[in-house]
């Protein structure tokens, strides 16, 4: 039996970064590959035990950039504990990551959407006797950010959001918005709605939410390509956030870290519960905790409840999966894949997520992720 190398990872002080719109929590489909990750407020990550196992050399991975800041934290911690191992994660897009995985050029891919049946079929060419499976690793809220002079608090619901992004509601003082914001002085100003210009898992997850919570007002299929007419397009969540930050009257969607780092106010969502729900990591965790595993075998794809009215549950969430072969992984990278993903799914790996604007995967589901990672072959 091979000797396991187990190194103690010292507590790492993560100083706050000066963050521009192109740096923080880029969403799936962003072209941003710069910038680092840090726990919010410069907090220190917990000391961790990282089991390096037989990891060695370089491990290449790519895909969802919604998890970029989490990956930056994990890679930094892991490489500090495992000298001689290099993890190279290219935050491109979910679609690009899956293509790279199915071409056999990366050890794993990140995707904000579970593999489609045709993508699973393609994966068998790379995985040999095995196939690609989905391992939920990162959760988080999709924030709806806005820029409206004089309005510091804004409440919207799913039907109103659907009509705004479908260009059916065009003014900020529309009666539907006013009804949800009693006492707020809403200006007679045109709404400037921004969406992603490229295929995006974040767009697809927004579509899933609107399909479920506002089926009468959002008639489009939940796909990665933006489906509705009108609006304005920007590249990546960085581009959407930059436009919202700059344009008075703007509204757009992106991961929470963009809003918190750039002081972009976010919409509270009226779910029909007792009170509107704010976009926070904790509230997203409440919604993700109700998710059910819909995958079979070792596949752990989740079924999220976008219509939840549970107290404090923010329903507009996404889960990013790490896509791996259940068997048939390349012998030269398998030990590193198992070691690294074992760390990201560990209690210590998940602990760093909240301060970075993410929501940890619920403990019961995460236990199954760790079990599956250990069984990869």
Q: Dump the DSSP string for 20-76.
A: -TTTSSPPTT----------GGGPBPPPEEEEEET--EEEEEEE-STTHHHHHHHHH
CA dist 254 and 246 (Å) reads: 15
Whole-number Å distance between alpha carbons of 361 and 347: 10
- Does the CA dihedral 110-113-117-118 come out positive or negative? negative
Q: Which distant-in-sequence residues (6+ apart) come within 8 Å of 9 by Cβ?
A: 47, 48, 49, 50, 77, 80, 81
| Helix, coil or strand: residue 270 | strand
Contact by Cβ (8 Å): 9, 48: yes
Burial 39-72 (b: 16+ CB within 10 A, else e): bbeeeebeebebbbbebbeebebbbbbbbbbbbb
pLDDT of residue 199: 82
Distance from C-alpha of 205 to C-alpha of 322, rounded to nearest angstrom: 16
Tell me, what's the pLDDT at 237? Answer: 86
107 in Cβ contact with 330 (< 8 Å): yes
- Return the SS3 of 318: strand
Give the helix ranges, DSSP H, for the chain.
68-81, 94-102, 117-127, 158-165, 175-180, 201-213, 236-246, 256-262, 281-288, 334-344, 347-351, 363-375
- Show pLDDT as tens, one digit a residue, over the chain (377 residues): 444 444 433 333 333 333 333 333 333 343 333 333 344 333 334 445 799 999 999 999 999 878 988 999 999 999 999 999 999 999 888 889 999 999 999 999 999 999 999 999 999 999 999 999 999 999 999 999 999 999 999 999 999 999 999 999 999 999 999 999 999 999 999 999 999 998 888 899 999 999 999 999 999 999 989 999 999 999 888 899 999 999 999 999 998 988 988 999 999 999 999 999 999 999 999 999 989 999 999 999 999 999 999 999 999 999 999 999 999 999 999 999 999 999 999 999 999 998 888 999 999 999 999 999 999 99
Domains of the chain (ranges, CATH numbers): 5-140+291-301+320-375 (3.40.190.10), 142-286 (3.40.190.10)
- Look at residue 92 and give its three-state secondary structure: coil
d(CA 4, CA 6): 6
What letter does residue 266 receive in the DSSP assignment? Answer: B
Phi-psi region of 243 (alpha: psi -120 to 50; beta: other; left: phi over 0): alpha
pLDDT for 48 equals 58
Burial environment of residue 25 by CB neighbours within 10 A (0 to 12, 13 to 18, 19 or more): buried
> In the prediction, which pLDDT does 2 show?
40
């Amino acid at each position: 039996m091979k000797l396991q190398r187990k190194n103690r990872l010292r507590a790492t002080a993560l100083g706050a970064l000066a963050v521009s719109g192109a740096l923080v929590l880029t969403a799936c489909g962003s072209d941003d590959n710069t910038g680092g990750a840090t726990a919010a407020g410069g907090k220190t990550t917990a000391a961790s035990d990282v089991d390096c196992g037989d990891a060695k050399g370089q491990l290449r991975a790519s895909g969802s950039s919604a998890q970029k800041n989490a990956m930056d934290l994990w890679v930094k911690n892991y490489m500090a504990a495992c000298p001689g191992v290099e993890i190279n994660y290219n935050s491109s897009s979910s679609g690009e990551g899956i293509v790279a995985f199915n071409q056999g050029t990366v050890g794993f891919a990140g995707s904000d959407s579970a593999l489609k049946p045709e993508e699973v079929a393609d994966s068998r060419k790379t995985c040999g006797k095995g196939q690609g499976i989905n391992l939920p690793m990162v959760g988080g809220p999709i924030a709806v950010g806005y820029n409206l002079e004089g309005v510091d608090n804004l409440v919207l619901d799913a039907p109103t959001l659907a009509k705004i992004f479908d260009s059916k509601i065009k003014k900020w003082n529309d009666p539907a918005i006013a009804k949800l914001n009693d006492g707020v002085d809403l200006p007679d100003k045109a709404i400037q709605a921004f969406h992603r210009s490229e295929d995006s898992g974040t767009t697809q997850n927004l579509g899933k939410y609107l399909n479920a919570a506002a089926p009468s007002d959002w008639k489009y299929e939940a796909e990665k390509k933006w489906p509705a007419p009108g609006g304005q397009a920007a590249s990546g969540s960085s581009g959407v956030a930059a436009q919202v930050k700059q344009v008075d009257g703007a509204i757009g969607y992106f991961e929470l870290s963009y809003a918190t780092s750039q002081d972009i106010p976010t919409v509270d969502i009226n779910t029909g519960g007792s009170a509107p729900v704010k976009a926070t990591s904790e509230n997203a965790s409440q919604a993700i905790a109700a998710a059910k595993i819909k995958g079979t075998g070792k596949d752990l794809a989740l079924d999220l409840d976008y219509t939840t009215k549970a107290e404090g549950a923010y329903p507009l969430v996404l889960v990013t999966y790490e896509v791996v072969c259940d068997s048939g992984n390349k012998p030269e990278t398998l030990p590193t894949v198992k070691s690294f993903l074992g760390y990201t799914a560990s209690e210590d790996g998940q602990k760093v997520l909240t301060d970075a604007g993410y929501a940890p995967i619920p403990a019961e589901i995460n236990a199954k992720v760790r079990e599956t990672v250990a069984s990869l072959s």
